[in-house]
Amino acid sequence: MGRVCYGENGYTVASRGCRMKTRELKIWKRDPDASRWEEISFFGFFLRYPNVTLSAHPPALPEDSRKAMGEFLRYGEELRILEDDLTECINEFQQAHEGTYHDPKYLELKKFAVLYHVDNFYVRVHKCVEDIYRTLALVVDLDPTKRPRAGELPFRGQVRSALTKRKLTAIVQSLRAFEEDEWLKRAVDARNLFVHQYREEPEWPMLHPTDRFWEPEDPLARDVRRIEQETDLDRYAARKADELSKTLRTIRRFRDQLYEILRAALPDRKQGLHMK
């Protein structure tokens, strides 16, 4: 099995597989600022309930706002965990590709591992976007679990419209830029294909379902196939690792933008609030 060693700079990894030399891999460290998701939910609560004070310890909250705070904090915690999950998806992806299944004899296992971790990442990106919208729905007093009726705007459209009415246009603009980001759109589109159809990779025939479990019976033909496909798979994995990394950067950048926007939107007396 592979062994990952996190260096001080976040990029030192020692990966040991069966009969293979130690390899240096790039990894992602978890970002301490992922905790900002929880602060974002905290700020959102006080935009929804601007008259609530924190003079008591713990705060003496009315019943409705106490329930709402629990909902806000749950989404904040989920978003923090999701960001950490996305970070580890990339690390596990690279560990499986370059470490555990590096030997050409593990070609079939490497194919399954690469696709598994990529699709796992995409599903979590979708969940992250959903939780962002649900958090913002709570800010504008919308029920994030309620499905739109026939003739109503889609849920996300309702959230953006309500934010605009609340004069929180900076959030709407940031959301639009976030969702229109090239790497985020690719991830969301790939997730939708994965869930609702079959996510084809037309440029990479070696990843077609049939070719993922079929091997020639002839030993020589099998060895030739492994050599050819190993190179293609390495190219595919390198491209995907770059795409996933850019997507994670997009999410972290949006997180920091949303944090600053919500913090600035709070009344002055709430500017110094931080999660404990």
Q: What is the pLDDT of residues 33-44, one digit of tens each?
A: 999 999 999 999
DSSP category for residue 15 = E
Residues sharing a CB contact under 8 Å with residue 47, sequence separation 6 or more, in sequence order: 139, 168, 262, 265, 266
In the structure, what pLDDT confidence band is assigned to residue 215 with cuts at 50, 70 and 90?
low
pLDDT for the residue numbered 239: 86
Of 26-40, 57-71, 91-105, 188-202, the range with the highest mean pLDDT is: 26-40
Extents of the domains making up the chain: 30-270
Determine whether 267 is exposed, middle or buried from the number of CB atoms within 10 Å of its CB (0-12, 13-18, 19+): exposed
Task: Please check the confidence at residue 199 and state whether its pLDDT lies above 80.
Answer: no
Residue 12: both structure tokens together: 């030192």
Q: pLDDT per residue over 124-142, tens digit each?
A: 999 999 999 999 999 999 9
Peptide bond into 58 cis (omega under 30): yes
If you average pLDDT over residues 44-62, what whole number do you get? 72
Scan for tokens 């555990």, then name that residue.
Answer: 100
Candidates 176, 183, 187, 181; CA nearest to 246 is 183
Q: pLDDT per residue over 217-275, tens digit each?
A: 555 444 444 445 556 778 888 888 899 999 999 999 999 999 999 999 987 644 445 44
Of 46-50, 160-164, 230-234, the range with the highest mean pLDDT is: 160-164
Look up residue 221 and give its amino acid.
Answer: A
